[in-house]
Amino acid sequence: MTNTERDQRGDRAGQQERPGPEEPPEQKSPDRPGQDEPKPAEPDEALRARKPRDWAWRVLDTPIGPLLLAATREGLALVAFHSDERVVRRSLTRLRLAFGREPLPEIPHLTTAADELARYFDSGLRAFTVPLDWSLSAGFNERVLRELAVHVPYGTVVGYQDLADRVGEPGAARAVGAAMGSNPLPVVVPCHRVVASDGGIGGFGGGLDTKRHLLALEGVLPQPLF
């Protein structure tokens, strides 16, 4: 086989393996299938230049595993899946950088968020009211996530392409997938409600089992039998 033939076969194989526009890949940690810590939209230098702000954090036990919550006086800023000791340690390092000081023991919005999430998982809450601090997101990602937070309610779903259309970017279905993967506020900002138009559930930074659990909780999917 000539080098040209090898290159052509490699190009065809690569094209077959690429995901379609309705199931854009979401960002995942290289060593585990989950969202380990927030990915600030700005470079570290920009984060350091911000005015320091008060913040607090806690880990909340939930049916989908421990969630690390962080809030400022502006609102809830972070929800991180799979928050074992390693994830907590790495997340807190980033949050200290983002907010410029050590955490406080408590902030009112943190208590509100924890209470509302507990009620959500107990099927007693359909709409979150805790204020949101969007400082760990920016640009296109923030636009898409704000649209999702306001206009895709409990028990409904939206496609990647539809969400791109809603923010006036009809060619940006893949970018919407990336925005979902960058979401610093999953569950509260419901990226689990974004699905593929062919009937598949699409990707999810917290793992597909977590996405299925959340969609089943909201009545979109049947409850699992085990």
| Residues tagged active-site | 191
Using CA atoms, how far apart are residues 91 and 39, in angstroms rounded to an integer?
Answer: 9
The residue with tokens 């200290």 is 96
The dihedral sign for the CA sequence 85, 86, 87, 93: positive
Main-chain dihedrals φ then ψ at residue 78, nearest 5 degrees? -150, 140
Cα separations in angstroms, 182 against 36, 106, 136, 215, 217: 11, 26, 9, 20, 23
Spatial contact of 180 and 187, defined as CB atoms under 8 Å apart? no
